[in-house]
Structure 1
Amino acid sequence: MTNTLAARAFSLLLSALLAQTALAQTPSTAAAADTSSILQEASRLFREGRSFDAKLLLVPLAGRDVPDALFAVGRIEESEGMYARAAELYERAAKQKHGPSINNLGALYAEGLGVPRDPARAVASYREAAQLGSADGMVNLALAIITRATTAQASESPAELVERAANLNHPVGMRLHGSTLMLDAARQRLGFGWLEKAAGAGDAPAMVDVALAKQRGQITARDFEGAARLLQAAAATGLPAAKRELATVYELGLGVPTNTAEAQRLRREVEIAERAAASRAQAPASQNAPANARPAQSSPGQPNLTR
């Protein structure tokens, strides 16, 4: 509770500082600022858990409505549960056709966080973000089409959307593109290469897919130790499927020393996660986050504040 109150107090302070900065600074000052280096430094501070310092660093740029800075502060506000404030910042950046902000605003509408739940507006936002070159938007739009949340417009192909996202090094895009290619026997090796890239980029489901292939000796050489390392990394993100597979690895001693106690611990965690998921599924729709919301943020650790 104390942390929540502190976050809200700082959000109000930030609003005042942004207003003051917009009035106090001249365009030439903002133009002279090294926006890229400021964003990178703020991202570093955020990953270290120093949100306060990151926000203060971004105030001069956000106060002048620099889209990347508005997006970065919005990401921080989201991480602190300040969804209405995040939506406001994304809206300001969206007016300047900032694709990542439009995508994240769509995700807030999909989830009903800080704004009224509006699935149609969410999909429209994903579509606009994709058209503006946002990899997140491409993946979210593809998933919306696949799950029949929307009807594909002319020239909109989910396979092409995820391929475009993959070519932009989007972790989830690379995984989905790789999985699509794997369905074609003639292109399985190419598909597996994309899965490996996604795993290397921190996508936990891709780590599991690659690990299972290594265990079975499919497409790649059998490597139990390498598979175990991948499953350990994926399990560390909290992914239940990874924990379930890792439990079997410890139980059978596949690439690691047999550890029955660790296997049991992992299975207990999976059971707890599954019960929690079932409980969320029974909650009102406005409290549920769709599977296609902001896929890039499924990667482990604090997200970067840059695109």
Structure 2
Amino acid sequence: MRRLAIAIVLGLAAWPAAAAADKPAAEAKPVFPPIAPPVDSSKVDLAFGAFQRGYYLTAFDEATKRVEEKQDPVAMTLLGQLYAEGLGVPRDPAKAASWYGLAAQRGNRDAIFAYGMAKVTGSGVPKDETGGILLLNKAASMKVMAASYNLGILALRPVNGAPDFATALQRFREAADEGSADAEYSLGVLAKEGKGMPVDAKAAAGYFLAAAQDGNVDAMVETAIALYNGDGVPRDEKAAALWFRRAAEAGSPIGRNRLARLYASGQGVDKDPKMAGMWNLMAQAAGLRDPWLDDFMAGQSQAVRDAALKAAQDHGL
């Protein structure tokens, strides 16, 4: 499935020209079958216990025993996941889809979702988007939040006409109600852009904050931007710096770049050229170059530049 972008305008008021990577903080991405406990792990406890500890061959053997003994759909789903991810066995989308299909026939909701995604993407089975969507709808009715989220993503694809924002909103809200940070983030994007609802900066900031608190890195960036610009929330440079730091530590190139700029300008944090240089190097390592920051660092002493490089190396560069 191609990744589906929702445009987000990034900008930091009163800053120099934005970095070259001023583009969407992230794309709304489909969620594939996650590595997560089966719905009823009690039926496959030894296999899943091994899976959790990374003993994938043991997990495979134990799940195979459960299938042979009881035709257990939970064990079938686990076997599908092992083949899908190539964990302990060679990656084999066809075998993964086969196990998902067998488990789906026996009513396992995780397998219904996974088999639906396989059909939508054509992974291991002939592509059948209509059939896959039917399975995703069934999984969504069984409270599989990733199914609801992916149905929202599919509704936004302008394949057979204009994006269906009403359906996307419904599905994202379903997934958000089940705890999906990705869905909370997507709702924030739609509220910010006024897609399917009036533009609502306050609602967008609320969705982004909820998603950020639930660990969505792109939402951390959006929360920081909203706080920096006072967009839907009171302007707070220090709080913005905290969220940019969280995003930076989580690996966000934009988070690293924006934190570097804050250190360069002394906004929300004490001005610190060494830290500006460190985070600029970390952003570059993640693929984002910023000529403004490069010029800023070029104006620093060699000692400061050396200290920035040492700090970046100590930080994992």
Letter in 1 for 2:205: F
Number of aligned residue pairs: 237
Question: Which position in structure 2 is the counterpart of 1:180?
Answer: 190
The answer (yes or no) to whether the contact 1:235–1:243 under 8 Å persists in 2 is yes
Question: Which position in structure 1 is the counterpart of 2:81?
Answer: 75
Q: What is the identity percentage for the equivalent residue pairs of Structure 1 and Structure 2?
A: 23
Structure 1 counterpart SS, 2:287? helix
Note the alpha carbon deviations across 1:176-219, whole angstroms, 9 max, x for none.
23333454679644443332222222222222211212222333
Residues 1-307 of structure 1 aligned to structure 2 (within 5 Å): 35-37=40-42, 46=51, 49-56=54-61, 58-63=63-68, 64-80=70-86, 81-149=91-159, 157-182=167-192, 183=194, 188-235=201-248, 238-255=251-268, 257=272, 258-271=275-288
Which structure shows the bigger proportion of residues in helix conformation?
Answer: 1
The answer (yes or no) to whether the contact 2:79–2:99 under 8 Å persists in 1 is yes
Of stretches 135-144 and 175-184 in structure 1, the one that deviates more from structure 2 is: 175-184
CA distance in 1 between counterparts of 2:112 and 2:104 reads 5
CA distance in 1 between counterparts of 2:116 and 2:250 reads 25
Q: How many Å apart are 1:221 and its aligned residue?
A: 4.3
The 1:93–1:38 alpha-carbon spacing in structure 2 relative to 1, beyond 3 Å, is closer
The 1:44–1:214 alpha-carbon spacing in structure 2 relative to 1, beyond 3 Å, is farther
CA distance in 2 between counterparts of 1:236 and 1:46 reads 28
CA distance in 1 between counterparts of 2:256 and 2:127 reads 33
Q: How many Å apart are 1:36 and its aligned residue?
A: 3.6
The answer (yes or no) to whether the contact 2:244–2:258 under 8 Å persists in 1 is yes
Structure 2 counterpart SS, 1:259? helix
Letter in 1 for 2:279: E
The 1:145–1:41 alpha-carbon spacing in structure 2 relative to 1, beyond 3 Å, is same
Letter in 2 for 1:51: Y
The answer (yes or no) to whether the contact 2:120–2:128 under 8 Å persists in 1 is yes
Q: How many Å apart are 1:125 and its aligned residue?
A: 3.4
CA distance in 2 between counterparts of 1:170 and 1:259 reads 34
Of stretches 97-106 and 140-149 in structure 1, the one that deviates more from structure 2 is: 97-106
The answer (yes or no) to whether the contact 2:173–2:187 under 8 Å persists in 1 is yes
| TM-score, reference length from structure 2 | 0.59
Note the alpha carbon deviations across 1:208-247, whole angstroms, 9 max, x for none.
2112122223333444454344334434555544444445
| TM-score, reference length from structure 1 | 0.61
Answer 1 or 2: higher relative contact order, Cα 8 Å, separation at least 6.
Answer: 1
Question: Which position in structure 2 is the counterpart of 1:290?
Answer: none
CA distance in 2 between counterparts of 1:145 and 1:105 reads 19
CA distance in 1 between counterparts of 2:264 and 2:122 reads 42
CA distance in 2 between counterparts of 1:140 and 1:96 reads 22
The answer (yes or no) to whether the contact 2:257–2:288 under 8 Å persists in 1 is no
Question: Which position in structure 2 is the counterpart of 1:296?
Answer: none
Gaps of 5+ in 2: 1-38, 290-317
Letter in 1 for 2:57: F
Of stretches 75-84 and 52-61 in structure 1, the one that deviates more from structure 2 is: 52-61
Q: How many Å apart are 1:38 and its aligned residue?
A: 6.6
CA RMSD of aligned residues (A): 3.7
Letter in 2 for 1:219: G
Q: How many Å apart are 1:87 and its aligned residue?
A: 1.2
CA distance in 1 between counterparts of 2:67 and 2:263 reads 49
Letter in 1 for 2:213: G
The 1:73–1:188 alpha-carbon spacing in structure 2 relative to 1, beyond 3 Å, is farther
- Bigger radius of gyration, 1 or 2? 2
Letter in 1 for 2:143: G
Structure 1 counterpart SS, 2:286? helix
The answer (yes or no) to whether the contact 1:38–1:58 under 8 Å persists in 2 is no
The answer (yes or no) to whether the contact 1:70–1:92 under 8 Å persists in 2 is yes
CA distance in 1 between counterparts of 2:220 and 2:52 reads 22
Question: Which position in structure 2 is the counterpart of 1:29?
Answer: none
Q: How many Å apart are 1:75 and its aligned residue?
A: 2.8
Letter in 1 for 2:72: V
